[in-house]
Structure 1
Amino acid sequence: MASDAETFIQYPIHLDPTSEALSDPTSNSAELNAQLEAINRTHRALLNLEPPNIPPPPRPVNPKRSAQIGKLRDTANAAYRKSSFAEAVKMYALAIEMALGRPAWEPVGLVREELSALYANRAQAYMQQQLWAEAWVDAQLSVECNEQGNGKAWWRGGKCLVEMGRWEEAQKWITKALDIEGGGDFTKELNALMVDIHTGLEKKL
């Protein structure tokens, strides 16, 4: 015996030429009448929209979220300038959390750009507190979000490794940084750090 899902029933649906409402005068089915009424309500709601009565295209980026992220970043920067480094870390963390919470349909490039700068800035705030391990993690995350044009994050990561005495890792890190950032705005600082790394390696031997 066929189930209800497999049974096709054709109803004599009537379209009112004036109101364009759907109905079935012969039906005693409460379920069918409820479905037709739901369709009619949706139709009336669309007709009552102010012109143009076509839903606008979805916004790819929520401007309110962008503004909130920018405000948190500015607050963190202000705290950093006042040497309130712990407060700066807290504000950067909130901005990072908000950036990570962007809906999946928003451009991934925007998210990477935001996170790259925020992680790099939080790394610097950690460094001011000599929290080298935490700063190293953030520098890596910044570079993972954006390798090119991110010389500050490369340098900060290398500096953290130096401060932790991880000379071989620092050498590999800065070598890669120079391969990617060679000729960039932060090349001088990267080269200077590499000199310090070579000195540290020689002392280690």
Structure 2
Amino acid sequence: MSHSHSHAPGEEHSHSHSQGGPPQSPMMPAPDPALQALIEEDFKPVPLSFSEDRNNAYCLKHRLEKCDACDVDFVGLNRLASLLAANPSLLCPPPANIVTQKLTQVVTATKDEGNTLFKSSLHTAAINRYTVAATIAVSRPPWEANQLMREELSTVISNRSAAFYEAHDYISALADAEAVIQVRRNWSKGHFRKAKALLGMNKLRDAAEAVKLGLSFEPTNTELTSFLAEIEKFEKKTEDAKLEARRQEKTQ
């Protein structure tokens, strides 16, 4: 059996054997033959096209990241590939508890810009900043803790719902409130935003139900309890006005 030597001065000898196949890296264990056979049996070739930098994959026929016709979805894979390509020092994704602080700072700063515009009653401009903040929040690396993204996104979308409400776009305010509830169902603010939007649409009973659902998660929330009392008071006033109108119709 012959040996070939490959080492620089001062380094330890590295031996490769001419028999027994290619050497295995000390960092990479040999694949399990049974598992490898299962992987190969399940493998189905997919025709691909690539971006110019070859970091992103698309279906060959339509050049789409996600294509129902070709039954492929490369969105997650492309996102991870782009992140790793942009950070060549990363040999693998960092641990899940590593937070991209710079990304957090950008989300917070953009949201704060929206808050400043909102306080100045520049609601359309505030909506635009909240939209940018939301877009940044959902672009977090997939290996990071999901809870952080959920908290950032729900806060920004809740603020955008408030801006839509002040702009009298109650349908958009309701849609954002529903999105907040979907992301953080047990957070009272989403239910409060939903109730506000429904109140703007004159759906008093639905608004009251939205508040009651929020109270089921936070029974002592003063914002919700006071708003429920306000809705019920407004509902009673509306009913009284209807009764008075009917009474006057009968007397005429």
Alignment-derived partner of residue 79 in structure 2: none
- TM-score (normalised: structure 2): 0.57
Higher relative contact order, chain-length normalized (CA < 8 Å, sep 6+):
1
Change (3 A) 1:132 1:11: farther
1:97 to 135, 149, 153: 135
Work out the percentage of aligned pairs sharing the same amino acid: 24
Q: Deviation per CA, 1:67-100: give whole Å up to 9, x if none.
A: 1111101111111111111110000000000001
Alignment-derived partner of residue 50 in structure 1: none
1:166 Cα deviation from its structure 2 partner: 2.9
2:3 alignment partner, SS class: coil
Alignment-derived partner of residue 49 in structure 1: none
Alignment-derived partner of residue 7 in structure 1: none
Structure 1 residue ranges without an equivalent (≥5): 1-9, 27-31, 40-54
Amino acid at match of 1:158: A
1:162 Cα deviation from its structure 2 partner: 2.0
Alignment-derived partner of residue 123 in structure 1: 161
Alignment-derived partner of residue 195 in structure 1: 232
Amino acid at match of 2:11: S
Matched ranges for 1:69-84 at <5 A: 69-84=107-122
Alignment-derived partner of residue 110 in structure 1: 148
Measure the CA separation in 2 of the matches of 1:16 and 1:58: 31
Q: Which moved more, 1:176-185 or 1:90-99?
A: 176-185
1:58 Cα deviation from its structure 2 partner: 2.7
1:20 and 2:12 are equivalent in the alignment: yes
1:174 and 2:211 are equivalent in the alignment: yes
Measure the CA separation in 2 of the matches of 1:21 and 1:70: 53
Measure the CA separation in 2 of the matches of 1:147 and 1:193: 23
Moved beyond 4 Å, runs of 4+:
23-26, 200-205
8 Å Cα contact 1:77/1:88 also seen in 2: yes
1:184 and 2:205 are equivalent in the alignment: no
Change (3 A) 1:62 1:182: same
1:196 Cα deviation from its structure 2 partner: 4.5
Measure the CA separation in 2 of the matches of 1:95 and 1:128: 19
Amino acid at match of 1:106: E
Amino acid at match of 1:135: A
Change (3 A) 1:61 1:130: same
8 Å Cα contact 1:72/1:95 also seen in 2: yes
Change (3 A) 1:197 1:100: farther
8 Å Cα contact 2:215/2:224 also seen in 1: yes
1:111 Cα deviation from its structure 2 partner: 0.9
8 Å Cα contact 1:116/1:142 also seen in 2: yes
2:213 alignment partner, SS class: helix
1:186 alignment partner, SS class: helix
Alignment-derived partner of residue 137 in structure 1: 175
Q: Which has the higher strand share?
A: 2
Structure 2 residue ranges without an equivalent (≥5): 26-90, 244-252
- TM-score (normalised: structure 1): 0.69
